[in-house]
Chain A
Amino acid sequence: MKRTMVVAAAMLFAGMGASAADEGCITCHGDAAMMKALYQPPSVAATEAEG
């Protein structure tokens, strides 16, 4: 509970000045052409079985 309250407070105060739009992350993750260029298809080992 104590940890939850600390996280909640951190999120509230951090969120007051920041938003996803301000971040560098979406420079790439908001750009479909950029993500297409960077994307690497997964490589699955032949020994991997189905779940």
Chain B
Amino acid sequence: MYKGFVIDLSLLNSDPHLSQGCTTCHKGDDKATDRTKAHSGLVKRPSDDPELCAVCHPDVAANYSLSLHYTTAGFKNGVRPRFSESEAAIYDKKVFEQSCRSCHASCGDCHVKSPTISGVDIGLLSGHKFVRKDEAKTCALCHGGRVYPEFNGDYGGNADVHYQKGMSCVDCHKAAGLHGNGVAYPDMRAVAEKPTCVGCHPAGAEASDKAKQAHAVHGDKVSCSACHSSAEYRGCSSCHLGEGATDAPMFVLGRNPRMPGQLTTLRLVPTVRDTFAKAGIAQANYDAVQNLWDSVPHNTKKRTDRTRDCATCHDQQAHFLTVDSLPVGGAEANKALIFNFRK
């Protein structure tokens, strides 16, 4: 892995980013001959401050500083309703900035060097070249616990049909969505530019009458993923500060907490009752917020057990959340996600 820390010398004369010298961005002491002294004051991720990139890329940097990849506001806003006011203050001060916020992506994390995840640092994407995209070394690192391994079939055993056809993350998740548009969104569900299935597959354009009818009948009552998610996906739980979470495969269908009345795929989120106990946060409103949230597993297939046979849902209610399959020790709010199916 040492190759990830070797600069491609041919870039020195060809890439304008490197023309200013290393210490302009990375600081340190370029005159020192001792390793420790040379790295004294080193700034490992200079683009952690988007203003550095704003010198030449002002519009993108301005947008990016408000984007969810940079603010990680989704973490904060997702968990905050579980807290009392005093707990929220502790969370903001002791947990968010020190823990959750450390997961934000700098410009360089996607365009120069793979982000360091769980202490593993695979280094530069391409000899310190500034690259437009390299999803396997960027997206897959931060989103490698759940989404990416579902997408390429490492998890669940079924690669997403889009992956099989050669598509990459950015074919759906466009730059405007990744960089932001200057709006400080509270979470990814609120992002205006987020991709949708019908953006490429509009209703009424189906090739077969059977598909056309199925989509017309189910409409907004069933999400795309409820029928087209092809395999188990990863659910994480039992997250504790400083200790991480544990995971298990899952496939659960239930009410969409953000769209009452819609059946969709639900995914377990890592927060449990004592997740923040070390910080003195008991989560006063824990039971008010569900542990299962609507999620789009990235393991899409045209045909699944649900598209092949109506009975899978309408008779067997396969994968449906029930009282018996509620998360053990979960919030009371989970019960509202049980779909009372009318045959």
Chain A residue total in the interface (Cβ 8 A): 36
Residues of B within 8 A of A3 (CB): 51
Q: Are A7 and B118 neighbours in the complex by a CB distance under 8 Å?
A: no
B161 → chain A closest CB, angstroms = 25
- Contact status of A15 and B118, CB under 8 A, knowing A4-B51, A50-B145: no
- B318 interfacial by beta-carbon distance below 8 Å: no
- B121 interfacial by beta-carbon distance below 8 Å: yes
Name the interface residues of A1-24: CB closer than 8 Å to any CB of B.
3-4, 7-8, 10-11, 14-15, 18-24
Q: Are B51 and A35 neighbours in the complex by a CB distance under 8 Å?
A: no
Q: Are B5 and A39 neighbours in the complex by a CB distance under 8 Å?
A: yes
How far is B141's CA from A4's CA once the two chains are assembled, in angstroms? 30
Secondary structure dominating the interface of B: mixed
Q: Are A24 and B33 neighbours in the complex by a CB distance under 8 Å?
A: yes
Q: Which of B3, B51, B58 contacts A32 (CB 8 A)?
A: B3
Q: Are B119 and A51 neighbours in the complex by a CB distance under 8 Å?
A: no
Q: Are A48 and B119 neighbours in the complex by a CB distance under 8 Å?
A: yes
Q: Which of B3, B6, B12, B52 contacts A7 (CB 8 A)?
A: B52
- B86 interfacial by beta-carbon distance below 8 Å: no
B114 → chain A closest CB, angstroms = 12
How far is B117's CA from A28's CA once the two chains are assembled, in angstroms? 25
B41 → chain A closest CB, angstroms = 13
How far is B54's CA from A11's CA once the two chains are assembled, in angstroms? 12
Name the interface residues of B47-66: CB closer than 8 Å to any CB of A.
51-52, 54-55, 58
Residues of B within 8 A of A48 (CB): 118-119, 244
- B87 interfacial by beta-carbon distance below 8 Å: no
Q: Are A20 and B19 neighbours in the complex by a CB distance under 8 Å?
A: yes
B149 → chain A closest CB, angstroms = 9
- B30 interfacial by beta-carbon distance below 8 Å: yes
How far is B49's CA from A4's CA once the two chains are assembled, in angstroms? 11
Residues of B within 8 A of A51 (CB): 103, 117-118, 141-145
B74 → chain A closest CB, angstroms = 14
Q: Which of A15, A35, A45, A50 contacts B5 (CB 8 A)?
A: A35
- Contact status of A14 and B246, CB under 8 A, knowing A3-B51, A32-B3, A44-B119: no
How far is B6's CA from A42's CA once the two chains are assembled, in angstroms? 17
Residues of B within 8 A of A45 (CB): 119
Encode B1-40 as 1/0 by CB contact (under 8 A) with A: 1110111010011000011111110101011110100100
A44 → chain B closest CB, angstroms = 4
Q: Are A24 and B55 neighbours in the complex by a CB distance under 8 Å?
A: no
How far is B24's CA from A10's CA once the two chains are assembled, in angstroms? 9
Question: Quick one: closest B residue to A22, CB to CB?
Answer: B21
Cβ contacts A to B, 14 pairs, < 8 Å: A4-B58, A7-B51, A10-B24, A19-B18, A20-B21, A23-B21, A23-B23, A25-B26, A35-B5, A38-B2, A44-B119, A49-B239, A49-B244, A50-B144
Ranked 3 nearest A-B pairs via Cβ: A49-B244, A39-B2, A15-B20
Q: Which residues of B contact A (CB under 8 A)?
A: 1-3, 5-7, 9, 12-13, 18-24, 26, 28, 30-33, 35, 38, 51-52, 54-55, 58, 103, 117-121, 141-145, 236, 239, 242-247
